[in-house]
Structure 1
């Protein structure tokens, strides 16, 4: 049986988007996100973070800073009874990236590269997986990758790329209906 995945954007879904967060003291977790990841883990989903991190490419922080914060975030979820399997990130920016990071790549959302890489690495059944995002680029990447359920945590009422939800807690019911 192929792996079922719950994909989560980071800034705006896991933590409040304050802009270029790269230290634990800059992280404020979104309400109910720990419940969602614990429920996904209990339902047999592997949880993945799919995140653009142009702050690396712009020189605001380093990949080492990002990895340290990512390890800390993963540990917070373990302590809350859930598990993030892996975080995929894109450090590039096609216009504002510096040096090697100034790339128009296939991993930066809305491109599906990170999702497709996760599917390849973990034998994920994308059609029966879920992606929770808060931006159009998240939903576009999910659609392009063939993710079956797109849950939009954004506030653009007229934008309906998937199912609009108001809190990560709303996604728990979708987990249970997908299996």
Structure 2
């Protein structure tokens, strides 16, 4: 009985509805239909932002397309790091700053790569893209260090579980994939 029922004096007792287990959702697949009438299909991960499904390609075009294809997801970036100085004019005055982020994370899988290690989900990090952090006062440097710690926590608490889940999902549907990575609990 729910707490609401326990706190009120019911005039009649009605049976609680029987809970049904959720229906299992079938795995999602992508489909490429060639002009020759050949249909190619594969697992479409829930985490992937792109679907390789196509029509109107020749078989050779489809094979070339899949060899270069990657399932991917861009993970949200948090936090935004301090303003980065992009340029300083001749007098040394900052004239263009950016609030762009550092340490952007992505999970990708190239299922038809020639390299076996690329056939399972891996993480990529954009650490620095030509940003300079100059003229930091002690308080600025302390804030930057705190943000880097926060970013490290983000990698461990968000990116790592996402990557492990993606690899486990992939291994479950591709039994010939290389051995799964260790769980978060097994990592240092």
TM bracket, shorter-chain basis: under 0.3
TM-score normalised per structure 2: 0.20
Larger radius of gyration: 2
- Relative to the length of structure 1, the TM-score reads 0.21
Identify, as 1 or 2, the structure richer in helix. 1
